[in-house]
Amino acid sequence: MGKLEGKAAIVTGAASGFGRETAVLFANEGARVVVIDRDKKGGISVADEIRKGGGEAVFVEADVSKRKDAKRAVEAAVDGFGKIDVLFNNAGILGPRGVYTEDFPEEEADRLIGVNFMGVFLCTKYALHFMVKSKNGSIITTGSDSAYLGNRGLSVYSATKGAVIAFSRVVAMEYAKKGIRANTISPGAGQTPMHAQLIEHDKEAWKKVEEGIPLGRACYPTDVAHAALFFASDDSKYITGANLMVDGGWTVRGL
């Protein structure tokens, strides 16, 4: 039996990167998975991959920053699988890179806050309604090392990631006595579509990034997927309100 045998899981931002790897791993460990993303083609591909591997999955096309979409996506899990055991709030965007605060477009700030924070808030809010009824649940949210670092040109992105880490801690305390845990995972620079432009078009800059990471490489999607599996499974049943850095030592490196 897999570590998630019999569980029903939601993974947002599951069409690529960390989300895709996690959705497939959850399914391989026995979970029935609701794949949520705005990318219809990518989302269908992930759900098909899971089913071809013998797992159960449904795809829901949704923009989690929109109330109706988030509610519909969560309800699809209950309609399809009867419950929600795991919610992985992974959907997120980087926004403009390298733009200092005074020049940062307000509409881009609204978009970042909408996806990175409101998407987490809304999906968590709607999932809690069902988790409270069953007195069980694990809520996992993707943070970032940027929440802890003064990364120039990423003021709004960093703020949204700091916000979801704080939000997760509060949820952990509000619902601990109801059998619900909430934790975050904070990756460092990742080999994902989010960083594709830097990886493909500025190989020297990317090389310098990886050389600066103590463990010598960027974060792979599988690194985050296995961290999410830990929080989703009973391996972490005594852990709540925690943040796990998956950054190869980036945030603690010294001179």
Instruction: Supply the residues annotated as catalytic.
Output: 157
C-alpha angle with apex 101: 219 to 123, nearest 5 degrees?
55
Instruction: Give CA separation, 225 vs 20, 42, 58, 127, 207, in Å.
Output: 9, 18, 19, 21, 24
Token pair in block for residue 84: 């929600």
151 within 8 A of 95, measured Cβ to Cβ: no
Longest CA pairwise span in the chain (Å)? 54
Query: What pairing do the DSSP bridges indicate for beta strands 32-37 and 180-187?
Result: unpaired
Instruction: Give CA separation, 75 vs 37, 82, 91, 220, 245, in Å.
Output: 15, 9, 17, 31, 31
Q: Which residues contact 84 (CB under 8 A, 6 or more apart)?
A: 8, 9, 10, 74, 77, 78, 127, 130, 131, 137
